Amino acid sequence: MTFTAKLAAVSSRHDSLLCVGLDPDIAKFPAALQGKSDAIFLFCKAIIDATAGFACAFKPQIAYFAAIAAEEQLQAVCDYLRQTYPHLPIVLDAKRGDIGATAEQYAREAFERYGADAVTVNPYMGFDSVAPYLEWSDRGAIVLCRTSNPGGSDLQFLQVDGQPLYQHVARLVAEKWNRNGQCGLVVGATFPQELAAVRNIIGDMPLLVPGIGAQGGDIEATVQAGQSATGAGMMINSSRAILYAGTVGEEDFAQAAARVALETRDAINRFRTRVVA
């Protein structure tokens, strides 16, 4: 099954557009996990088990693992997801952006080492930097387009042929790069007007939408701007607001995460425009 088909299937099955981000910060772990050699895996496993029924995808952020030499625990997290919840896509948030043989190795890292269904990539170096990921026709390449951070405007709003650069990227991906129907775009929830503009350009392509929860993006505005014609087509990501929903260090963190994940999924669904076949 391709990434896009897998995403569509689980979004329907779980009635969900919620993507749960896995950004493990050991300083916020409960005392029972502190000092354990596999604390990151155990924390992520508990979050996954608590929220899997409400999610359409999981998005591990590679930097939170690599910074403390925990890549083996990231592999274990991805293995656990594939074995226990094979219907849920894994979106590796790596934001890779290189060319040639180096990009080929990054693609192998994402799709062979970690077994991800999709990976975030940076288009700044052009098609050469994305092409190696597209060789994996059943996997997804989620291209940075209009990011949720304020500094994204430094480049993404520059005018190119009379349109902002982020819209140029959206057209390029939708019209030229998405040859196998495997591409998606990253567009932040903090800019709903830009999100709507991208949706108008790309049709039903999937969007990874960070920025709700801790970053302050409005759920109603996000859903209304970014949903596809069928009321789907989005992975609306929430990380810190779910992972650390309870008091930092409390032992029932997984239950708190489940509660907020359910609330977030249901809040998203309240604003979706359903299309009945």
Phi, psi (degrees; rounded to nearest 5) at 261: -60, -45
Inside any domain, residue 57:
yes
Structural domain boundaries enclosing 251:
3-270
153-182 pLDDT tens trace: 899 999 999 999 999 999 999 999 998 999
195-207 pLDDT tens trace: 999 999 999 999 9
Q: Which two three-digit tokens encode residue 161? A: 């042929």
The letter for the amino acid at 221 is A
Inside any domain, residue 258:
yes
* Low-confidence spans in the chain with pLDDT less than 70: 213-216, 248-249, 275-277
Inside any domain, residue 195:
yes
pLDDT at 240: 93
Inside any domain, residue 248:
yes
Looking at the DSSP bridge assignments, the partners of residue 184 are 142
Inside any domain, residue 262:
yes
Inside any domain, residue 150:
yes
| Pair 264, 234: CB distance under 8 Å | no
Q: Give the count of beta carbons closer than 10 Å to the beta carbon of residue 222.
A: 27
Q: What is the CATH number of the domain that holds 173?
A: 3.20.20.70
Q: How many structural domains compose the chain?
A: 1
Task: Tell me the C-alpha distance between 269 and 264, whole Å.
Answer: 9
Inside any domain, residue 275:
no
Among residues 28, 36, 45, 95, the one annotated as catalytic is 95
Inside any domain, residue 277:
no
* 95 tagged catalytic: yes
